[in-house]
Structure 1
Amino acid sequence: MTAALLLLMLAPLFRRPPVDSFPLSTYPMFSWGRHDAQTAVERAVGVDSRGGRRPIPPRLVGSEEVLQAKATLAQSIRQGGRAARALCRGIASRVAAQDGYADLVAVEIRTDTFDAVAFFEGQEAPVDSKLHATCKVGAR
């Protein structure tokens, strides 16, 4: 009886094509159709006086919600340089008003492409970058 139950649970692994099914999910929506592990991320980045970069938190982009902040960035990029620069200036003014960001001299709106596997192995530098807007952080 136990062996039969175990076989039923493992059956989805052996179907061709594999079927995403109860009780065992193979999560094909994350693995099918991917030729590589690269992913592009729209983001706001703070730049310090030495040229170092660090991500700006979503709340300074305009929302506590990560996906809403991402959508805001993506929309401004789609709308072109003028919209990206306007968003950048808004973010820079919020950065200037916050404690803990005194070292930042500029904000960038960018699309960075990462190798997801390499990223989680410690190689956090993007493999490609596109700068959409940059603006100075105002005087404190």
Structure 2
Amino acid sequence: MKYSKHQALILCFITTILVLSPIFQNWVDSPKDSFPLSYYPMFSKERKTTYGMYYLTAYDKNENKYIIPYRFAGSGGFNQVRRQIAKAAKSCNAQEFVMKVAEKVADRDDHPYADLSRIELVKGYYHLENYFKKNDTLPVHERVIALCSIERR
């Protein structure tokens, strides 16, 4: 099918309007995002200064802190296990989850795992701008969700 210049211009205009139409969702009280026409809320949404995430920490007898790798918490890739940790933290099974991780840590006899005495599931809050621009990787605040001592056999 052959288009005239006039038809091609109209088609381009309609396509442009269609692609740009979701931008108006940025000014609506309750915006609606949809596929394939998105207003890209992941880029346009206002972010908080701090970001909270769940993770596992452990301490040795001298209170030295260690971050427990995600592989102890579940199977799958990093993001999949991260979601499993968050789900456990928000559920009533957080204590049971931490106990299972503590059992896995107790089975290890290499450093630093052999020296660890307790494990905690925490929600750490990080200042995103400082984290990325100033390399300030320490949390602003941590809240303990569940904890468990590591019992060796």
Match of 2:139 among 121, 126, 134: 126
> Percent identity between the aligned chains?
21
1:92 has 2:102 as partner: yes
TM-score normalised by structure 2 residue count: 0.65
CA offset at residue 36 of structure 1?
Answer: 3.7
Q: For residue 118 of structure 1, give the secondary structure of its aligned residue in structure 2.
A: helix
Residue equivalent to 2:33 = none
CA 67–122 in structure 1, closer or farther in 2 if over 3 Å, else same: same
Residue equivalent to 2:53 = 41
Structure 2: distance between partners of 1:47 and 1:30: 36
Superposition CA RMSD, Å: 2.0
Residue equivalent to 2:35 = none
Instruction: Tell me which stretches of 4 or more aligned residues in structure 1 moved more than 6 Å.
Output: none
- Code of the residue aligned with 1:66 in structure 2: it is F
- Code of the residue aligned with 1:128 in structure 2: it is H
- Code of the residue aligned with 1:133 in structure 2: it is A
- Code of the residue aligned with 1:131 in structure 2: it is V
Q: Deviations over 1:18-48 (max 9, x none)?
A: xxxxxxxxxx655422344421111111112
Residue equivalent to 1:79 = 91
Which runs of no fewer than 5 residues in structure 1 stay unpaired?
A: 1-14, 18-27
Q: Deviations over 1:55-93 (max 9, x none)?
A: 21111012241112111111112212xx11100000001
Structure 1: distance between partners of 2:147 and 2:72: 15
Residue equivalent to 2:115 = 103
Residue equivalent to 1:67 = 79
Structure 1: distance between partners of 2:47 and 2:152: 46
Which runs of no fewer than 5 residues in structure 2 stay unpaired?
A: 1-19, 24-39
- Code of the residue aligned with 2:85 in structure 1: it is L
Structure 2: distance between partners of 1:69 and 1:44: 12
TM-score normalised by structure 1 residue count: 0.70
2:119 and 2:148 in contact (8 A); partners too? yes
Q: For residue 102 of structure 1, give the secondary structure of its aligned residue in structure 2.
A: helix
